[in-house]
């Protein structure tokens, strides 16, 4: 029996010339880049190869990547109209700075900056901006929410505005592994689901050579199989876009897609809202139980623990400590998540049963064992 073969991924010549430029920037700006040197070389290699006329960057953050893109365009002397879009007026890591502030502050360092047609568009959603920008986008960079439905809805909205053979770049396709968090799946879902000519190259510094950036070139097969993207709307969503944003996405689907796709969009949206309402109810009950105790301890510092940690921080709920069976088995990544919370071995727990509740934050495999340990000592389990 012959071995199974398949269509291989494409390669692009990595364009590292921008790295000497970025190294000359002040450290404050360099550390704000959310792409690695490989990611930037991959992106700039595609820009050099395809020489876009109309480019859209969705997701700006501090703007260091935006600045690299503009310097690349200037170095190549391309007459590209470039739009950088972010729904946030202010930088999500520092609300005292506006999104994309790095571009303004390094503008005098960008090659041929005065000849580059760049527009920084903040404060409106991606689908709203698409309607303003219009079609024939031949180079799109999606680097937005990373959690579903983020980039999935972004691509569905963007597709009608793309040129026949546009390039689409997806950053953070490996973020779920890098951060050990299953929530960050949206870019990977889009990359793996779309039918297109795909670029994926080994990055020796990441994930055993598996890259955190990929791209694809639109083909006829993309249109023929676009329904697969709508089917992905029934994956579990990790946040619920507000009604205004969903209406903006829906407006594009209604205008540019067949009725059957609009029907699927609507049914999936209703289902996700119902699921979210059920989750909200569960969270309310959990928060109520949480506040019944003087002190709260987590039992478990792994992936489940990190999920509850972020839930607690988002809802201003106290965490007085994390207990584990063996501190020597807690890795550095897990310690970094709980860096503001004291960590103890179970035998050294700081509170008595009458003054704290225990939230079991381990996977199903160990849950019952931990439950028995905790309750045997007279502690009450939350939830």
Distances (CA, A) of 81 to 62, 106, 107, 113, 214: 20, 19, 16, 12, 23
Helix (H, G, I), strand (E, B) or coil at 279: helix
Q: State the pTM of this model.
A: 0.77
State how far Cα 105 lies from the chain centre: 26
pLDDT at 273: 86
Q: Which of 144, 8, 156 is nearest to 65 (CA)?
A: 144
CATH of domain 18-273: 3.40.50.150
Query: pLDDT of 18-73, one tens digit each?
Result: 999 999 999 989 988 899 999 999 999 999 999 999 999 999 999 999 999 999 99
Supply 123's token pair.
């404060």
Q: Is 202 exposed, middle or buried (0-12, 13-18, 19+ CB in 10 A)?
A: middle
Q: What is the rounded CA–CA span in Å between residue 92 and residue 61?
A: 7
Cβ neighbors of 249 (< 8 A, separation 6 or more) are 127, 153, 156, 157, 241, 265
pLDDT at 93: 87
Q: Is 347 exposed, middle or buried (0-12, 13-18, 19+ CB in 10 A)?
A: exposed
Q: How many CA atoms lie less than 13 Å away from 87 in the CB half-sphere?
A: 15
Regions of the chain with pLDDT less than 50: none
User: Tokens 């689907």, residue?
Assistant: 253
Domain boundaries, the chain: 18-273, 291-381
Q: Are 199 and 171 in contact (CB under 8 A)?
A: no
Q: What is the rounded CA–CA span in Å between residue 39 and residue 52?
A: 18
pLDDT at 281: 63
pLDDT at 259: 97
Question: Do 291-381 and 18-273 fall under one CATH topology?
Answer: yes
Supply 321's token pair.
């400590």
DSSP H or E segment with residue 203: none
Fold exhibited by the domain 291-381: Rossmann fold (3.40.50)
Query: Can you give the three-state secondary structure of 299-365, one letter per residue?
Result: ECCCHHHHHHHHHHHHCCCCCCEEEECCHHHCCHHHHHHCCCCCEEEHHHCCCCHHHEEEEECCCHH
Distances (CA, A) of 98 to 56, 102, 128, 282, 332: 19, 9, 20, 36, 33
């Amino acid at each position: 029996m012959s071995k199974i073969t398949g269509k291989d991924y494409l390669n692009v010549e990595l364009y590292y010339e921008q790295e000497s430029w970025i190294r000359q920037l002040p450290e404050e700006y360099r550390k704000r880049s959310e792409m690695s040197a490989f990611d930037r070389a991959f992106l700039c290699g595609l820009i050099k190869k395809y020489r876009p006329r109309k480019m859209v960057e969705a997701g700006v953050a501090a703007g260091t990547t935006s600045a690299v893109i503009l310097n690349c365009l200037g170095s190549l002397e391309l007459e590209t109209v470039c739009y950088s879009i972010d729904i946030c007026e202010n930088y999500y890591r520092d609300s005292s700075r506006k999104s994309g502030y790095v571009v303004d502050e390094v503008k005098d360092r960008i090659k041929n900056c005065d000849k580059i047609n760049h527009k920084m568009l903040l404060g409106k959603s991606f689908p709203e901006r698409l309607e303003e920008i219009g079609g024939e986008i031949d180079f799109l960079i999606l680097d937005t929410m990373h959690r579903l439905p983020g980039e999935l809805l972004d691509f569905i909205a963007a597709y009608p505005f793309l040129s026949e053979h546009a390039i689409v770049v997806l950053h953070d396709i490996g973020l779920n592994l890098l951060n050990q968090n299953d929530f960050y799946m949206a870019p990977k879902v889009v990359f793996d689901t779309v039918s297109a000519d795909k670029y994926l190259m080994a990055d020796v510094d990441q994930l055993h050579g598996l890259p955190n950036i990929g791209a694809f070139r639109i083909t006829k097969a993309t249109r023929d199989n676009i329904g697969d993207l709508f089917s992905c709307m029934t994956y579990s969503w990790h946040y619920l876009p507000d009604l205004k944003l969903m209406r903006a996405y829906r407006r594009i689907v209604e205008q540019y897609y067949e009725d059957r796709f609009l029907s699927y969009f609507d049914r999936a949206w209703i289902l996700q809202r119902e699921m979210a309402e059920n989750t909200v109810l569960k969270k309310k009950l959990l928060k109520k139980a949480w506040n019944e105790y003087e002190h709260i301890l987590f039992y478990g510092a792994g992936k489940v623990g990190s999920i509850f940690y972020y839930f607690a921080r988002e809802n201003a709920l106290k965490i007085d400590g994390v207990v584990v069976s063996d501190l020597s088995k807690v890795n550095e990544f897990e310690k970094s998540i709980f860096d503001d919370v004291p960590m103890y071995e179970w035998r050294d727990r700081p509170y008595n049963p009458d003054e704290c509740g225990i939230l079991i934050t381990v996977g199903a495999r160990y849950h019952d064992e931990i439950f028995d340990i905790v309750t045997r000592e007279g502690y009450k389990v939350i939830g």
